[in-house]
Amino acid sequence: MGLSRKPAYCWGIRSHWAVENSLYWVLDMVFRDDECRVKTDNAPANFTTIKHIATNLLRLPTTKDSLRSRRKIAAWDDTFLASLIAHHCLHPIPLGVARLFGISLKLKPSPASCRADMPMEAVIARRMTMERINLSGGEVGLLRLGAPDRPAVVFVHGFSGDLLTWQYNLFPLTKDYHVVAIDLPGHGRSEPLTGAQHWQDMVDWLSVALATLGLKRPHLVGHSLGGRLMLGMVERRLISAASLSLIACAGLGPGHDYPFLKRLASIETLEDALVCTRHLFSDHETGVERFACALHAKLSTAAARTALTQFLNANLRTVN
């Protein structure tokens, strides 16, 4: 064998054993695959596929902690689990969980935007920076990710939400799209509309906001109220959209639970938030407390509650 072929030959041998070391050894030691007693019908093949997927997801964070530790944290912390599934690894392991178990957190900062000596919190904040732009109706909160020369995808949340509704959907799309999430008036970081509060006025507001951002034929994704506003823009031909995706769009169903919406708009205590959250989650307890805390924080000010209440009063049974 010539010398020129030896490196490739050695690489082939190492690659063969890498399968044993990086996959089968992990399945045996981390997932205890040898002790698995699943043997019926297609179950072994299905479980093997799931374990392979889980192994690949656990390798996504750039921290030096073990796969066993990451697997345990994924079982204990819903946020970390969701971040793995969504490939959202800007914050590989929640800081509180990491410090509790003494896990070292290290990200690889982008040289263009982050210094190597930045604290973890600063790196994360730099990678996910909220913006504010000025419109005639006041300041608008938004988040833009991905190269601006790529096709644009715009996300708009529902009633009482904010742009972080989409936090686990945004980052996987940034590879191929310019992603924009926006706070509706009176929600999140956007100021309430002055004067009229009709939802059609909010349609006009949203079309002006997207025109200000200079988005050409964006893909539109809206949830609940956000979906109805986007549908309104398309119906009135206020925007030329590449596509329109509606999730539980308001106004297309038989009616609305107005007593619940009013209660949602008047949350003052964490207990109020827990009651509303359990209603939204259909009494499923996973993530209820975390969601309730976030909901309470968003509606902790009288101004936020007033803005939502005024919107409901102006649009009672007129969103169809």
Q: How many structural domains does the chain have? A: 2
pLDDT in the model for residue 100: 41
Per-residue pLDDT tens listing for the chain (320 residues): 444 555 666 666 666 666 666 676 777 777 777 777 778 888 888 888 887 888 888 877 777 778 778 887 877 776 677 667 665 444 444 444 444 444 443 433 333 443 434 443 343 334 456 788 887 668 888 988 888 899 999 999 999 888 888 877 887 788 889 999 999 988 888 888 776 578 888 999 999 999 999 998 999 999 999 999 999 999 999 999 999 999 989 877 767 788 888 888 888 888 998 888 888 877 666 678 877 887 888 787 888 888 888 888 888 655 54
Domain that holds residue 50: 17-123
Co-location of 290 and 145 in the same domain: yes
| Per-residue pLDDT, 203 | 93
180 shares its domain with 50: no
Same domain for 71 and 144, yes or no, is no
Residues 117 and 164 both lie in one domain: no
- Do 98 and 207 fall within a single domain? no
What is the C-alpha to C-alpha distance for residues 238 and 118, in angstroms, rounded to an integer? 44
Are 171 and 295 within one domain? yes
Domain identity same for 163 and 284:
yes
Same domain for 116 and 170, yes or no, is: no
- Is residue 8, in this structure, part of any structural domain at all? no
In a domain, 52, yes or no: yes
In a domain, 53, yes or no: yes
Among 74, 107, 123, identify where a domain stops.
123
Q: Residue 103: its pLDDT value, please? A: 40
Select from 101, 123, 145 the last residue of a domain: 123
pLDDT at 93: 42
- Answer yes or no: do 299 and 254 share one domain: yes
In a domain, 12, yes or no: no
| 265 located within any domain | yes
Examine the domain organization and report whether 62 and 39 are in the same domain: yes
Final residue before a domain boundary, out of 102, 123, 144? 123
Both 118 and 135 in a single domain? no
My answer on whether 56 and 148 are in the same domain is no
**Domain assignment of residue 5, yes or no:** no
